[in-house]
Structure 1
Amino acid sequence: MEKKMITLNTNQLTPFHQKIKHPLNKQRITVLQINLGRRCNLACNHCHVEASPKRTEELSPKICQQLIELINRFPQIETVDLTGGAPEMNYGFKPLVEAARNIKKEVIVRSNLTIFFETGFEDLPEYFAKNQLRVIASLPCYLEDNVDKQRGKGVYDASIRAIQKLNQLGYGNDPNLILDLVYNPPIPSNENFSLTPNQVSLEKDYQTFLKDNFDIKFDQLFTITNLPIGRVKKYLKHKKLYDSYLQFLESHYNPQTLDYVMCRNQISVDYLGNIYDCDFNQMENITATLPDGKPLTVETLLKMGNLDVINDIKTADYCYGCTAGSGSSCGGSLI
């Protein structure tokens, strides 16, 4: 690493809103992403939600019903994206799935896969297949040691067995049963930072290794950058790497990604019913607002009868993580 990278300080970081030089405008909302809560059977060290088995926050019946009404009332919602924590563990998972699938909306479940082997959740693979859920599953490397270091001992083995079960049910073969995997890099432990590898070439490596060693098939690989929020932020600050990591991301800012960032056509909802531009803003408690500054909630959207009430997206310096290099989103690289 060049010496100038080591000696930079926070005053040299260009605030993201100054870098883009104009407001980032919201487009027509087509994706409703819902964070059902922070309960999870894992406590991964890269988790920006800071979920764990000790967390108890989850969706309430009241907010669940409001979300079901939102799904039913707005045909423009094409995709309902369920995340967490482990979304399957939190209240409202199946009611939301069934409400969306009853009116033919795409439903994504962001699964950690190991939940299949927890007591009371053994039916999930069959439930996923029956409802034709698109599964986007975290597998941060195709090698066991790397996965277990990030996510806990035994997670790799459980994940492989879970994918094999999904394959048996048709995932990876049936075009109606989509299984995508997610790569995210290890959290940097020194200033030798790097962007995520090329998504296309890494996908080929995953496909070859998993097919040859486990006879596993999947549809796509998504590469996602670790944003400096949640546990990643705490770790980087502990290692005194937070400032230099942000500067590294800024140095690789790519304006071509702006048209494709996920916050443009998505709203993110927390378990309390508050609205955000994206899941990352949700974790940093940067709520979306009306032009008059009033915070948005699901209840507000229902009263207004309109999803497209946000003019400008709230940005922060960690937005450099979504716009560095080829870009990063919940759907992988952007360009």
Structure 2
Amino acid sequence: MQQITVVTPFDKKLNYQLTKQQITVLQINLGKRCNLACSHCHVEASPKRTEELSPEICEQIIELIYKFPQLKIVDLTGGAPEMNYGFKPIVEAARKNNKQVIVRSNLTIYFEKEFGDLPEYFALYQVRVVASLPCYLADNVDKMRGKGVFDASVHALQWLNKLGYGNDPNLILDLVYNPQLAVNENFSLTPDQLKLESDYKNFLKTNFDIVFNNLFAITNLPVGRTKSHLERTKLYLPYLQFLESHFNPVTVEGLMCRNELSIDYLGNVYDCDFNQMMNLAAKTPNGEILTVQKLLESGSLDLIEEVETALYCYGCTAGSGSSCGGALV
């Protein structure tokens, strides 16, 4: 194979414009406050960050949830979403309107002061828990997320299991795998999701009597701390070239950016969480940058025709693809 020396712009690789479909998913990044500072975090969240949702934007988001029946899923992320303002009011508004609520949880938050009610709260409102567990081996998890995180995660998963998560069909518990950060140019694609799920389930059941529903294998996109790491190690361009060389056009149809809106804690609108972190705002056909307030004023969620793309989009389209729900094909 001929060595790629540059990275093709993503829209040129597609040869057509990536278009939006009807919006059915609202993903809300409630802020950057978190009790952890994971090495791969594209949000660059940490205990030192203070940015979070304001009461005004929270009310606008709740109004959005009430106003648009087409929304099927309200997906809450962060930071640790549970730590940021507006978390419970948004959960309760979404459930009152029969939306599925997803919380992207780091699990360890349940053991922090003032957050010990969360597992029972999740069960009460039938919140779908998508929990980060980037490996089923303690050393790898602690290396990426901090000392003691694996043990805390195990205890949290056992707690959720006792409440019915992983067994009760209304209490869905999913885990998320992330690869270790690259240390040289020996890159590899995310492993086969179904096989990895089987490995996780066997190991966690045998060693900790833990059960869960699905494993989502997610590629590390060169955004946030992952990008900073790749730049420090002079691997940023080689990694982009690797992702481009494994571009799979079959993944494009299922890209999460096509039917979701990503909202930040300031009320700005993006096509996806990665665009949000890179400040690549969603735009209307006339170039207007969108906010939650403008969506409410227009009476429509479907103001965007074309998705804003960038080089890191290759991370979602390499191999089996990657999304907040794992592999795409």
- Identify the TM-score tier after normalising by the shorter chain: over 0.9
- The question of 1:29 aligning with 2:19 is answered no
Deviation at 1:147, TM superposition (A): 0.3
**How far apart, CA to CA, are the structure 2 residues paired with 1:15 and 1:296?**
24
- The question of 1:158 aligning with 2:152 is answered yes
Match of 2:87 among 78, 88, 93: 93
Deviation at 1:17, TM superposition (A): 0.8
**How far apart, CA to CA, are the structure 2 residues paired with 1:96 and 1:68?**
6
**How far apart, CA to CA, are the structure 1 residues paired with 2:223 and 2:99?**
31
Deviation at 1:211, TM superposition (A): 0.1
**How far apart, CA to CA, are the structure 2 residues paired with 1:260 and 1:109?**
21
Q: Give the aligned partner of residue 58 of structure 1.
A: 52
Which aligned pairs between 1:257-296 and structure 2 lie closer than 5 A?
A: 257-296=251-290
SS of equivalent to 1:48: coil
TM-score by length of 1: 0.97
Match of 2:182 among 177, 185, 188: 188
- Aligned-partner residue type, residue 92 of structure 1: G
SS of equivalent to 1:294: coil
Match of 2:41 among 21, 26, 47: 47
SS of equivalent to 1:91: coil
**How far apart, CA to CA, are the structure 2 residues paired with 1:50 and 1:332?**
21
**How far apart, CA to CA, are the structure 2 residues paired with 1:128 and 1:233?**
33
Q: Give the aligned partner of residue 80 of structure 1.
A: 74
- The question of 1:16 aligning with 2:15 is answered no
**How far apart, CA to CA, are the structure 2 residues paired with 1:102 and 1:308?**
23
- The question of 1:137 aligning with 2:131 is answered yes
1:153-191 deviation digits (Å, cap 9, x = unpaired): 000000000000000000000000000000010010000
- Aligned-partner residue type, residue 83 of structure 1: T
**How far apart, CA to CA, are the structure 1 residues paired with 2:71 and 2:133?**
28
Deviation at 1:103, TM superposition (A): 1.3
Q: Give the aligned partner of residue 122 of structure 1.
A: 116
Q: Give the aligned partner of residue 234 of structure 1.
A: 228
What's the C-alpha RMSD, in Å, of the aligned pairs?
Answer: 0.9
- Aligned-partner residue type, residue 53 of structure 2: L
Match of 1:221 among 215, 223, 240: 215
Q: Give the aligned partner of residue 334 of structure 1.
A: 328
**How far apart, CA to CA, are the structure 2 residues paired with 1:291 and 1:14?**
24
- The question of 1:319 aligning with 2:313 is answered yes
- Aligned-partner residue type, residue 260 of structure 2: Q
SS of equivalent to 1:135: strand
Unaligned 5+ residue runs, structure 2? none
What percent identity do the matched residue pairs reach? Answer: 69
1:47-87 deviation digits (Å, cap 9, x = unpaired): 00000000000000000000000000000000000000000
Unaligned 5+ residue runs, structure 1? none
Deviation at 1:13, TM superposition (A): 1.1
SS of equivalent to 1:94: helix
**How far apart, CA to CA, are the structure 2 residues paired with 1:207 and 1:187?**
23
How many residues are treated as equivalent by the alignment? 329
